[in-house]
């Protein structure tokens, strides 16, 4: 039986087919499928596939056998969780949703794809996670809005060596449009400037790091990015007090000068009051994650093990290029510059992107484009060095 067949349609995503509800997406919908999150799901599948393979190899070296358990806590029509089971190395996938209509559709989609080893539950997300202390290898938190109220339960459910994936769609508070809402939800101060999305993503990362640390689990991000209306984080969690303490050394603040565009990381929000370049008062954001946002060796392994059978799919090609860019910029842990904004602040002519990148490289600086904006670069050159490079017409 297909639920409400007159209001549904069949789509193909990855290696699976699904029956989904058609029409515009509203929060009040009984079940919805968001095509704009296709990149999110495609990336999630290959990241999970890589992590499960790495964990299985680790267990093999210790002569241990352990089934790999994954949980899609807000499964909706089941697209994400079913793809996890069919396209990645999961032995069992839990599909949970509080909406009975959604769960019924997810079950039908499981039958449509002839997928077994799925366990369905009709529970509040926190209630579901509370039943699996220290036992799930991959927990996916992808709610409508802020994930913050689910992080503690997710952290508790993670196994000793596991991965947590978190999506936040409340980017406006995190990016400084509603700073009071950001402080209420995340206990952090955002910045509403050219780096606002990076600051927002780092605030979210800090919250996940704090959540897993409460259970003596260290936070190591392997992929973090911003796309359209959401932020997404994938991080490995490893049990151990010393590892956790070392991980939390990456919690700090961002200093930003609205006058000249100076920016840097701080260990304390009181350690810098005035801009060292122009002596104007600076703004600080945080607390947030100041360590690397992604792990380039992990991403290289993801891309090296890419499924060549899907290389003709335009969605897969888009994902491959996107991950390549994120991998390259992850090697440079400095806050990015939006060249248009930076040049406006310093009364400079806007240079061509490729020219300034090559010029900085010729001077020995690390530099990359950034996925946050097409007009942005990430570099270890400071404000003065960047200004001189832009002014140099040679």
Is 344 among the domain residues? yes
Choose the weakest-confidence range: 28-37, 129-138, 172-181, 241-250: 28-37
pLDDT at 14: 85
On whether both 65 and 13 belong to a single domain, the answer is: yes
pLDDT at 3: 44
**Does residue 2 register a pLDDT over 50?**
no
On whether both 348 and 221 belong to a single domain, the answer is: no
> Can you give the residue range of the structural domain that contains 95?
5-252+279-289
Residue 320 belongs to a domain with what CATH number?
3.30.56.70
Half-sphere exposure of 355 (CA within 13 A, CB side): 10
4 or 8, which is more confident?
8
Is 274 among the domain residues? no
Number of domains in the chain: 2
**Does residue 7 register a pLDDT over 60?**
no
**Does residue 5 register a pLDDT over 60?**
no
On whether both 332 and 285 belong to a single domain, the answer is: no
pLDDT at 392: 84
pLDDT at 62: 76
pLDDT at 1: 38
For 231, list phi and psi in degrees, rounded to 5.
-110, 150
On whether both 300 and 283 belong to a single domain, the answer is: no
Nearest to 136 by CA among 145, 125, 149: 125
CA distances from 165 to 29, 318, 333, 359 (A): 24, 21, 21, 37
Domain C-terminal end among 240, 261, 289: 289
pLDDT tens-digit series, residues 355-382:
999 999 999 999 999 999 999 999 999 9
Provide the token pair at 73.
């806590």
Could you tell me the pLDDT band of residue 394, with boundaries at 50, 70 and 90?
low
Is 267 among the domain residues? no
On whether both 231 and 302 belong to a single domain, the answer is: no
On whether both 143 and 176 belong to a single domain, the answer is: yes
Is 259 among the domain residues? no
Q: Secondary structure of the chain in the HEC alphabet?
A: CCCCHHHEEEEEECCEEEEEECCCCCCCCCCCCCHHHHHHHHHHHHHHHHHHHHHHHHHHHCCCCCCCEEEECCCCCCHHHHHHHHHCCCCEEEEECCCHHHHHHHHHHHHHCCCCCEEEECCCHHHHHHCCCCCEEEEEECCCCCCHHHHHHHHHHEEEEEEEEEEECCHHHHCCCCHHHHHHHHCCECCCCCCHHHHHHHHHHHHHHHHHHCCCEEEEEEEEEEECCEEEEEEEEEECHHHHHHHHHHEEEEEECCCCCCEEEECCCCCCCECCCCCCECEEEEEEECCCCCCHHHHHHHHHCCCHHHCCCHHHHHHHHHHHHHHHHCCCCCCCEEHHHHHHHCCCCCCCHHHHHHHHHHCCCCEEEECCEEEEEEECCCHHHHHHHHHCCC
**Does residue 27 register a pLDDT over 60?**
no
On whether both 312 and 372 belong to a single domain, the answer is: yes
Nearest to 264 by CA among 249, 273, 254: 254
On whether both 50 and 198 belong to a single domain, the answer is: yes
> Distance between CA atoms of 373 and 370, rounded to whole angstroms?
6
On whether both 118 and 176 belong to a single domain, the answer is: yes
On whether both 362 and 231 belong to a single domain, the answer is: no
Those residues whose C-beta lies under 8 Å from the C-beta of residue 243, and which sit 6 or more positions away, are 218
pLDDT at 253: 97
Nearest to 391 by CA among 356, 365, 362, 341: 356
Q: Are 35 and 41 in contact (CB under 8 A)?
A: no
Those residues whose C-beta lies under 8 Å from the C-beta of residue 157, and which sit 6 or more positions away, are 71, 129, 130, 132, 133, 134, 135, 136, 139
Is 258 among the domain residues? no
Domain C-terminal end among 289, 314, 336: 289
Preceding omega of 348 cis (within 30 degrees of 0):
no
Q: What is the mean pLDDT of the chain?
A: 92
On whether both 245 and 315 belong to a single domain, the answer is: no
Is 316 among the domain residues? yes
């Amino acid at each position: 039986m297909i639920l409400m067949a007159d209001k549904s349609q069949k789509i193909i995503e990855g290696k699976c087919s699904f029956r989904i509800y058609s029409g515009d997406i509203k929060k009040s919908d009984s079940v919805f499928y968001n095509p704009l999150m296709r990149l999110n799901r495609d990336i999630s599948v290959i990241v999970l596939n890589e992590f499960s393979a790495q964990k299985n190899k680790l267990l093999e070296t210790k002569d241990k056998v352990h089934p790999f358990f994954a949980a899609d806590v807000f499964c909706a029509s089941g697209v994400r969780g079913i793809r996890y089971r069919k396209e990645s190395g999961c032995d069992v996938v839990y599909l949970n949703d509080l909406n009975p209509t959604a769960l019924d559709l997810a079950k039908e989609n499981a039958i449509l794809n002839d997928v077994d080893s799925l366990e369905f539950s009709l529970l509040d997300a926190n209630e579901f996670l509370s039943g699996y202390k220290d036992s799930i290898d991959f927990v996916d938190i992808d709610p409508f809005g802020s994930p913050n109220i689910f992080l503690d339960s997710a952290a508790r459910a993670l196994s000793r060596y596991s991965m947590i994936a978190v999506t936040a769609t409340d980017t406006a508070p995190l990016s400084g449009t509603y700073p009071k809402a950001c402080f209420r939800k995340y206990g952090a101060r955002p910045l509403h400037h050219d780096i606002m999305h990076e600051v927002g993503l780092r605030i979210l990362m800090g919250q996940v790091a704090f959540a897993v640390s409460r259970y003596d689990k260290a936070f190591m991000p392997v992929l973090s990015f911003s796309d359209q209306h959401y932020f997404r984080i994938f991080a490995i969690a490893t049990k151990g007090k010393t590892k956790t303490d070392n991980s939390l050394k990456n919690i700090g603040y961002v200093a930003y000068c609205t006058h000249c565009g100076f920016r840097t990381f701080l260990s304390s929000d009181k350690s810098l009051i005035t801009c060292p370049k122009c002596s104007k008062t600076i703004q600080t954001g945080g607390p947030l994650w100041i360590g690397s946002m992604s792990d380039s060796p992990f991403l290289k392994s993801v891309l090296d093990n890419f499924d060549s059978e899907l290389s003709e799919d335009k969605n897969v090609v888009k994902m491959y290029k996107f991950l390549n860019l994120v991998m390259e910029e992850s090697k440079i842990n400095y806050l990015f510059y939006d060249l248009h904004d930076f040049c406006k602040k310093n009364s400079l002519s806007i240079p061509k992107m490729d020219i300034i990148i090559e010029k900085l490289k010729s001077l020995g600086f690390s530099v990359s484009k950034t996925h946050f904006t097409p007009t942005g670069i990430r570099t270890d050159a400071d404000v003065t060095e960047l200004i001189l490079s832009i002014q140099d017409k040679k």
